[in-house]
Amino acid sequence: MKSGALRGELKPESRSNNGGQRVRIIDPSAGIGVGHHAHWFRLLDDSLNAHDLPATAEAPDVDGEKEGWSRWYCRAIDNSIDAGPSHLVFSSADDALTSMLRKSLRLRRNHLNVHALFFRLSRQPRAGGRAAFAVKIVLLFALRMLIPGFRAYVLELPIGAPPKWHRWVQLIPVVDSSAFEVGQPVGVAEARSAYGGSLPAENQIILVIGMLGPGKHVDSFLHMWNEAPIEGASLVFAGVAEPPTHEALRSAAETNVGIVYISGRLTDVVFDHLLESADVVAAVYRYSASSGVALRALALGTALVVGGSKVLTTQLRGTPGVVVAEDTSAAELSRAIRIALGTRVPPLQLDPNNSAVFPRPIVESILKAEST
C-alpha cells in the first residue's frame, strides 16, 4: 500500500472528538485492521480528517455476528444517533437497508444525512434472487423519500461500462480505488516468500483469494482440480473461510499435493505479495459487480480469470490480461486457466485523479451538506 493507507485501525476509542463529531461510520469491519472494507474506510477516515471532519466508527462487539446483522445495524444506528453526528456513512449497505427503513423516522427527526455505500448491487443468481433484488431497489426508493438527506453510492470498476440501471436508480458512482492503492512490486521471487516454502519453487501458481466460500466457486475449483489438474501448477486458496469450506479446503490440501490452503485473515502486505507472485488470479464469483481482487491483480501485472457474475464479466471482458470462463464447469475453468497461464499482462494504468475515485464523492457530498 502507498504510505498513509495503513494508518491505525478505525475504532471509536482511537479518535478524539476535536470539538464535535460530525461523521460516524457504521461498518461491521471498522474494528478489523485488514481486508478490503477496512482499507476502504481507512481511506475515507484519512480524507475526512484532511478536511477537518472528525469521524468515529461503530464496530461490532465480539457477539455482534451472533445477534444477526439486522439487529446489530439497528443498535448501531441508535448508538450513533445518540452520539450526535450530522452524517452517518454505511458500508455493506445491502445488509443495512431494512434496518435503515426501520429507523427512518428517527433518522428523519434528527435531520441526519445518510450515506449508504454498496460494494456490490446486482441480482444474485439463485432461487429468489430476482425478487430479493427488486425488494432492494424498492427499499432504495423508499429511503430516498423517507429520509431527505439519504444518498446511495455504488462501487464501480474504473474500467468497462457500469450497468445502465445504476443511473436509472440514481446511484452515485464511486470508482473502486483498489488498483491505485497497491504497494510497489517487490519481484516475484520475494513475493513468493509469503508461501513459506509450502509449494514447489518451480510450480506456477493459480490463486483464489479473499473471503472463501460458495460465492467464489471454491467447490467448482476443487472439482476442476480433481477432474483436470494442471501439471506443473499449484492451486492456492488464501483467506478466511466459513467452517464447511474451511474443512473442505483443509482436507483437499492434506490429500492433494497440488493444492495449498493459507487459512486466516491476510495482512495487506501479504495480500499484495500473494497477488504479485501468482501466475493467474481467479476471480470467478456467483455474484459481484466490483472486485478489489481483480483490480489489484491487474495493477500488479497478474493474469486474471473471471466468470460467473454477468455484471463483472461484462465490464472486464476485452481488458488486456483478462480471460473469461464462460461457465464454471471443470473443463471450462481448466481451459480459461491454461490460456491465462500463457498470457502476458501489462500493469493496468488508471487515472488516480478521476473525480469519482473513492472516497471523493462521499467526502464532497458531506462537505456540500456541511456548507449549507
Q: Are residues 37 and 157 in the same domain?
A: yes
Positions of the chain with pLDDT lower than 70, given as ranges: 1-21, 29-37, 60-67, 122-129
pTM of the model: 0.81
Q: Is residue 7 part of a domain?
A: no
The owner of cell 488508471 is 350
pLDDT at residue number 222: 95
Q: Tell me, what CATH number does 237's domain have?
A: 3.40.50.2000
Q: Are residues 110 and 215 in the same domain?
A: no
Q: Are residues 336 and 279 in the same domain?
A: yes
Q: Is residue 273 part of a domain?
A: yes
136-171 residues labelled b (16+ CB within 10 A) or e (exposed): beebbeebeeebebbbbbbbbbbbbebbeebeeeeb
pLDDT at residue number 336: 96
Q: Is residue 61 part of a domain?
A: yes
Q: Are residues 120 and 204 in the same domain?
A: no
pLDDT at residue number 291: 85
Q: Are residues 116 and 263 in the same domain?
A: no
List the Cα angle 255/259/261 in 5-degree steps. Answer: 100
Q: Is residue 104 part of a domain?
A: yes
d(CA 205, CA 238): 12
pLDDT at residue number 19: 42
Beta pairing partners, 116: 90, 152
In angstroms, the Cα distances linking 268 to 129, 152, 164 are 33, 28, 33
Q: Would you state the cell numbers that stand for residue 215, as one nine-digit string?
A: 460465492
pLDDT at residue number 31: 55
Q: Are residues 108 and 80 in the same domain?
A: yes
Q: Are residues 289 and 206 in the same domain?
A: yes
User: What is the residue range of 154's domain?
Assistant: 12-177+353-371
Q: What is the longest distance spanned by two Cα atoms in the chain?
A: 64
Q: Would you state the cell numbers that stand for residue 61, as one nine-digit string?
A: 462487539
pLDDT at residue number 276: 92
How many domains does the chain divide into? 2
Q: Is residue 1 part of a domain?
A: no
